[in-house]
């Protein structure tokens, strides 16, 4: 069989695709490399004109860990992230199973309502949330931030529903013939088969807490109760100076647990996302 020679327009399309991918990779990698370089550079200047840190130093990491409240912010963030991830996985899986497998009145209305809620900008809720939390005495509380993060999972329910829709319905029917209830079908069949997507949901929830800034910067005021987003801001918003190299070191340290979690869940992520798209 003779290989067909690519046509000129196909070659052009291929190189355009490659160029777009190269530009996208550069847009992601270049800022990351500068942040890593700045974290090992002495002084407070973020840009030194070279990706090679000169002079090379580990003092930024030492100062972040010993002279700031970074470890406190990290502890607060990890606690909120783990609790949020666990509750979101439970809430999302139950809701998605109900929408995917059960038939009830206003089911379609509920699905559309979830989609509309996801489109509503978070910052528009901020004044109402502040007044509500003020009355509930949840201002300056990690519990309040956790409550907000737990409830923001409308998109996750849609994605999880798509994954469950891709699972064979015959498995449910066979289990019900043997006398299984809907809840038993959910716990013994749907949940084990949904493990890849649940891992993706948990990772999204954890990353969401680490990236959260807007709400927590308004609702949390005590330095000892900050989570990572507002905490890192303290390095670059200072009444005296901006410590960019310490900020870079703190950012690199913060990425370590997220990268470790991603590597641990990597085997589930591809199959989970593929199943959601298929569904």
In whole angstroms, give the CA distance from residue 235 to residue 244.
7
pLDDT at 272: 54
% of residues, the chain, pLDDT over 90? 17
Taking residues 13-37, report their average pLDDT: 89
Taking residues 99-104, report their average pLDDT: 84
Q: Which of 124-138, 204-218, 233-247 has the lowest mean pLDDT?
A: 233-247
pLDDT at 1: 47
Q: Which of 36-50, 146-160, 189-203 has the lowest mean pLDDT?
A: 36-50
Give the model's confidence band at 252: pLDDT under 50 very low, under 70 low, under 90 confident, else very high: very high
> 249 and 132 in contact (C-beta within 8 Å)?
no
Taking residues 21-42, report their average pLDDT: 88
229: burial class by Cβ within 10 Å (0-12, 13-18, 19+)? buried
pLDDT in tens, 185-233: 888 888 888 888 888 889 989 998 999 888 888 888 888 889 998 888 8
Q: For all residues of the chain together, what is the average pLDDT?
A: 83
Q: Collect contacts of 61-70 with beta carbons under 8 A, ≥24 apart.
A: 61/249, 61/253, 63/246, 63/249, 64/246, 64/249, 64/250, 64/253, 65/253, 68/234, 68/235, 68/246, 68/250, 69/223, 69/224, 69/226, 69/231, 70/231, 70/250, 70/253
Q: Is the pLDDT of residue 11 over 80?
A: no
Q: Is the pLDDT of residue 49 over 70?
A: no
Q: Is the pLDDT of residue 74 over 90?
A: yes
Taking residues 68-91, report their average pLDDT: 92
In whole angstroms, give the CA distance from residue 258 to residue 277.
24
Taking residues 101-110, report their average pLDDT: 82
Domains for the chain: give ranges and CATH numbers.
63-278 (1.10.3720.10)
Give the model's confidence band at 46: pLDDT under 50 very low, under 70 low, under 90 confident, else very high: low
Phi, psi dihedrals of residue 48, rounded to the nearest 5°: -105, 0
Peptide bond into 55 cis (omega under 30): yes
The H or E element that residue 175 is part of is: helix 169-177
pLDDT in tens, 55-67: 788 898 999 999 8
pLDDT at 73: 93
Q: Which residue has the higher pLDDT, 52 or 201?
A: 201
pLDDT at 168: 85
Q: Is the pLDDT of residue 54 over 90?
A: no
Q: Which residue has the higher pLDDT, 48 or 185?
A: 185
């Amino acid at each position: 069989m003779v290989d067909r020679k690519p046509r000129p327009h196909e070659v052009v399309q291929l190189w355009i695709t490659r160029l777009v991918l190269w530009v996208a990779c550069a847009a992601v990698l270049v800022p990351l490399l500068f942040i890593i370089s700045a974290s090992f550079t002495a002084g407070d200047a973020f840009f030194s004109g070279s990706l090679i840190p000169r002079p090379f130093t580990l003092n930024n990491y030492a100062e972040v860990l010993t002279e700031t409240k970074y470890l406190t912010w990290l502890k607060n963030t990890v606690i909120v992230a783990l609790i949020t991830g666990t509750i979101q996985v439970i809430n999302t899986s139950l809701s998605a199973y109900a929408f995917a497998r059960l038939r009830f009145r206003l089911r379609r209305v509920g699905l559309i309502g979830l989609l509309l809620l996801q489109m509503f900008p978070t910052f528009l809720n901020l004044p109402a949330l502040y007044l509500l939390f003020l009355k509930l005495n949840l201002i300056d509380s990690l519990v309040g931030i956790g409550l907000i993060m737990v409830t923001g999972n409308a998109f996750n329910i849609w994605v999880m529903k798509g994954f469950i829709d891709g699972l064979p319905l015959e498995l449910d029917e066979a289990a019900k013939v043997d006398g299984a209830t809907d809840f038993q079908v959910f716990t013994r069949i749907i949940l084990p088969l949904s493990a890849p997507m649940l891992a993706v949901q948990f990772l999204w929830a954890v990353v969401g807490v680490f990236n959260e800034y807007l709400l927590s910067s308004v609702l949390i005021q005590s330095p000892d109760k900050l989570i990572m987003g507002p905490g890192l801001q303290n390095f670059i918003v200072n009444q005296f100076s901006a410590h960019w190299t310490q900020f870079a070191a703190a950012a690199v340290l913060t990425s370590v647990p997220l990268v470790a979690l991603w590597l641990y869940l990597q085997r589930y992520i591809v199959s989970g996302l593929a199943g959601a798209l298929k569904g």
